[in-house]
Amino acid sequence: MLAFAYRNGALCAEQVLLEDIARRFGTPCYVYSSAAIESAYAEFERALRGRAALICYSVKANSNIAVLALLGRLGAGFDIVSGGELARVLAAGGSAGKTLFSGVGKSESEIEFALEKGIGCINVESEPELERVDAVARRLGRRAPVALRVNPDIDAKTHPYISTGLRENKFGVAHEDAERLYRRAAKMPGIELVGIGCHIGSLLTEAAPFAAAAQRVVALADRLEGAGIRLQHVDFGGGIGIRYKDEAPQPIAAFVAGALAALGTRPHRAVFDPGRSIVGNAGALLTRVEYVKPGASRNFLVVDAAMNDLIRPPLYEAWHDVQTVREAESPSAQRVYDVVGPVCESADFLAKDRKLAARGGDLLAVMSAGAYGMAMSSNYNSRPRAAEVLVRGDSAFLVRSRESVEQLFALERIPG
Ligand code: LLP
């Protein structure tokens, strides 16, 4: 499903002209296609048909409550990493019981909040965290549903900043420690062991490491079963990549098939927590060219979006396609540009060395920005965060207003 396509030379999100969105809501502006989100979710569902399974959308990728509400209506559960994300899920009408709480640093108050709301599962990532969850649950007179996130020590073959399943990463409990911890947890009165999980990293293009991790985790579940510890679910993680440039990630179905093959006929519910593969290509960052700035060695398009809006290019040297909202008529008008923002950092670029035909005032769309775009944005340089718009068919809805400058310092005080 293509979220963005040219119609009569003008780039549209579904049936809405991006020019109209810019006119109505201004720039910079994130634009998401509901149909593209629904279609990516449906791809997961199809691959899981006939199996006991739960797709827990990873909220960190794009946490706008309109996106969460859309996925919740489709039946998705959620994967969260903070009390803030749980609050968003609840505000969006999502179910706490279908929510998994991951992350290495859960605070006592976050654990308490999650238990009070009836969280589906806490993915414990260390022994001291296990002790803390047990203590909080006992204090509340409850038993906490828990899975251990196991670090399967598998190389996900992705960018080191987003690889998480290696021994050297901070995530999960070491594979060789897991059995001892499960035995210990089984004796804790505040803990109810419900599952086991893993997540080896993000932006995976090959299903093989994903399947290898799944096999290791299922083998561990078998050993635990032998020791009398019966679990209800296996969480295979997220991390399925998308195409930004010329990557050719294997389809969602190939990843799911690898995990399901590892699970075989075991009765466990299969859980996945995808983020990027659901929303990544469903979003674009719409921005306007402020200045065309030719230079002796490089030409720049200075646009009104910047690294505070989309930090992936400077942070990971990530490549995002840039399209002109008016389709280029003749290639002869094209020049090679760096697309840069107004932030005072040399790292403030959205794209480098792109052949584009653009003039001051033109609109550009930075593609594949639906995941880890707005969610990682900041107010650096006192820049109000962009607006967010959700498109459905021929309608566009403002789902987050552009921040005002006053909001940026509303919480600040000058002492007496
Ligand atoms: N589950 C767990 C436990 C995770 O840590 C993550 C992502 C996911 C699921 C979702 O992964 P996805 O399906 O979206 O790849 N900011 C980086 C990506 C960081 C991913 C962190 N963990 C980026 O912009 O590429």
DSSP string, 252-315: HHHHHHHHHHHHTT--PEEEE--SHHHHGGGEEEEEEEEEEE--SS--EEEES--TTT--HHHH
pLDDT tens for each residue of 331-382: 888 999 999 999 999 999 999 999 999 999 999 999 999 999 999 999 999 9
Do both 330 and 345 map to the same domain? Answer: yes
pLDDT at res. 330:
80
Kindly state whether residue 313 falls inside one of the protein's structural domains.
yes
Do both 19 and 66 map to the same domain? Answer: no
Check if 370 has its Cβ closer than 6 Å to any atom of ligand 1.
no
pLDDT at res. 325:
98
How far, in Å, from the CA of 276 to the mean position of ligand 1? 7
Beta bridge partners of 11: 6
Q: Which of 56, 57, 59, 60 to mutate to test the pocket of ligand 1 (most atoms within 8 A of CB)?
A: 60
Is residue 162 predicted with pLDDT exceeding 80?
A: no
Kindly state whether residue 212 falls inside one of the protein's structural domains.
yes
Identify the H or E element spanning 123: strand 121-124
pLDDT at res. 220:
96
Check if 237 has its Cβ closer than 6 Å to any atom of ligand 1.
yes
Kindly state whether residue 90 falls inside one of the protein's structural domains.
yes
User: What is the average pLDDT score of the chain?
Assistant: 96
pLDDT at res. 154:
86
Cβ-contact 190, 135 below 8 angstroms: yes
Lowest mean pLDDT among 26-40, 164-178, 294-308: 164-178
Handedness of CA 57, 62, 64, 70 (dihedral sign): negative
Residue 167's pLDDT band (cuts 50, 70, 90)? low
Do both 127 and 267 map to the same domain? Answer: yes
Cβ-contact 37, 1 below 8 angstroms: no
Q: Measured between alpha carbons, how far is 385 from 399 in angstroms, rounded to an integer?
A: 13
Output the pTM of the full model. Answer: 0.97
Ligand 1 atom 16: the closest Cα is on which residue? 372
Check if 88 has its Cβ closer than 6 Å to any atom of ligand 1.
no
Kindly state whether residue 74 falls inside one of the protein's structural domains.
yes
- Select from 142, 129, 254 the least CA-distant residue to 185: 129
Do both 150 and 171 map to the same domain? Answer: yes
Is residue 165 predicted with pLDDT exceeding 70?
A: no
Do both 233 and 303 map to the same domain? Answer: no
pLDDT tens for each residue of 196-239: 999 999 999 999 999 999 999 999 999 999 999 999 999 999 99
Is residue 51 predicted with pLDDT exceeding 90?
A: yes
Do both 96 and 26 map to the same domain? Answer: no
Check if 162 has its Cβ closer than 6 Å to any atom of ligand 1.
yes
344 is catalytic: yes
How far, in Å, from the CA of 343 to the mean position of ligand 1? 26
Q: Measured between alpha carbons, how far is 392 from 68 in angstroms, rounded to an integer?
A: 15
Question: Which ligand 1 atom minimizes the distance to the CA of 199?
Answer: 3
pLDDT at res. 159:
64
pLDDT at res. 332:
83
Is residue 70 predicted with pLDDT exceeding 80?
A: yes
Domain CATH code at residue 207: 3.20.20.10
> What is the arithmetic mean of pLDDT over 149-170?
73
> What is the arithmetic mean of pLDDT over 281-289?
98
pLDDT tens for each residue of 374-408: 999 999 999 999 999 999 999 999 999 999 999 99
Of the three residues 215, 243, 276, the one that is the final residue of a domain is 276
How far, in Å, from the CA of 279 to the mean position of ligand 1? 12
pLDDT tens for each residue of 243-257: 999 999 999 999 999
Domain CATH code at residue 374: 2.40.37.10
Kindly state whether residue 255 falls inside one of the protein's structural domains.
yes
- The residue with greater pLDDT, 238 or 157, is 238
- The residue with greater pLDDT, 329 or 141, is 141
Kindly state whether residue 416 falls inside one of the protein's structural domains.
no
Of the three residues 251, 276, 301, the one that is the final residue of a domain is 276
Check if 79 has its Cβ closer than 6 Å to any atom of ligand 1.
yes
Ligand 1 atom 22: the closest Cα is on which residue? 202
Cβ-contact 258, 207 below 8 angstroms: yes
Of the three residues 241, 276, 311, the one that is the final residue of a domain is 276
Do both 323 and 264 map to the same domain? Answer: no
Is residue 158 predicted with pLDDT exceeding 80?
A: no
Q: Measured between alpha carbons, how far is 369 from 322 in angstroms, rounded to an integer?
A: 11
Residue 6's pLDDT band (cuts 50, 70, 90)? very high
Do both 81 and 180 map to the same domain? Answer: yes
pLDDT at res. 2:
83
Kindly state whether residue 414 falls inside one of the protein's structural domains.
no
Ligand 1 atom 9: the closest Cα is on which residue? 238
Number of domains forming the structure of the chain? 2
Do both 292 and 380 map to the same domain? Answer: yes
How far, in Å, from the CA of 29 to the mean position of ligand 1? 23
Domain span including residue 18: 4-32+280-408
pLDDT at res. 192:
98
Do both 105 and 243 map to the same domain? Answer: yes
Q: Which residues lie closer than 8 Å to 23 by C-beta, 6 or more apart? A: none
Do both 25 and 103 map to the same domain? Answer: no
pLDDT at res. 163:
63
395 CB neighbour count, 10 Å cutoff: 11
**Residue among 12, 29, 198, 344 flagged as catalytic:** 344
- pLDDT more than 90, % of the chain: 92
- Select from 406, 313, 317 the least CA-distant residue to 366: 313
Do both 115 and 258 map to the same domain? Answer: yes
